[in-house]
Amino acid sequence: MMLLLARQARIGRTTTVRAAAAARALSHADFETKRHAVPNDDQGVRDLIGEQVSKNKVMLYMKGTPAAPMCGFSQQVVRILHATGVEFSSVNVLEDDSIREGIKQYSQWPTIPQLYVDGEFVGGCDIVTQAFQSGELDKTLKEAGVLKE
């Protein structure tokens, strides 16, 4: 768990402190006062997302944090990733509107959560669930080298 949290902190958008605050109260003020320096232009956001999905083999854009998901769909994907046993990084899109909208543009996908493996968009909750049940997700994770054969 500590490893997971450390990885979140490293990518800069999600820290344990902020996650706890977000879990207590979801107000705009909370997000505005704690907002980190995420680029506010479209190209900057695209570059940041590109960097996140390339530097993190398994990257989940979600609502809330793995420890405190704020949406049933995000929660389900977190549970699936835990079940596979892989280490993953995540970004809480509720903490930043530019990432929240940017990832939808980046993937051409209208909803959250969104899972990336090895820089490739895997899908949202329905597809991840389906892929987990069929064994396809394990295959994808093995191909990415994050799950042992």
Is the backbone peptide bond immediately before 39 cis, with ω within 30 degrees of 0? no
Q: In the block, which residue shows the tokens 């207590």?
A: 24
Give phi and psi for 147, each to the nearest 5.
-125, 130
Collect all residues with Cβ–Cβ distance below 8 Å to 60 and sequence separation of at least 6. 66, 74, 77, 78, 81, 88, 89, 90, 91, 113, 114, 115, 116
For the chain, the residue count is 149
Taking the complex as a whole, the smallest distance from the CB of residue 111 to other proteins amounts, in Å, to 6
Nearer to other proteins, 52 or 74 (CB): 74
Taking the complex as a whole, the smallest distance from the CB of residue 122 to other proteins amounts, in Å, to 8
Residues that bind other proteins (CB under 8 A): 26, 63-64, 69-76, 94, 104-105, 108-111, 121-127, 129-131
Nearer to other proteins, 75 or 90 (CB): 75
Nearer to other proteins, 52 or 102 (CB): 102
Taking the complex as a whole, the smallest distance from the CB of residue 148 to other proteins amounts, in Å, to 25
Taking the complex as a whole, the smallest distance from the CB of residue 101 to other proteins amounts, in Å, to 9
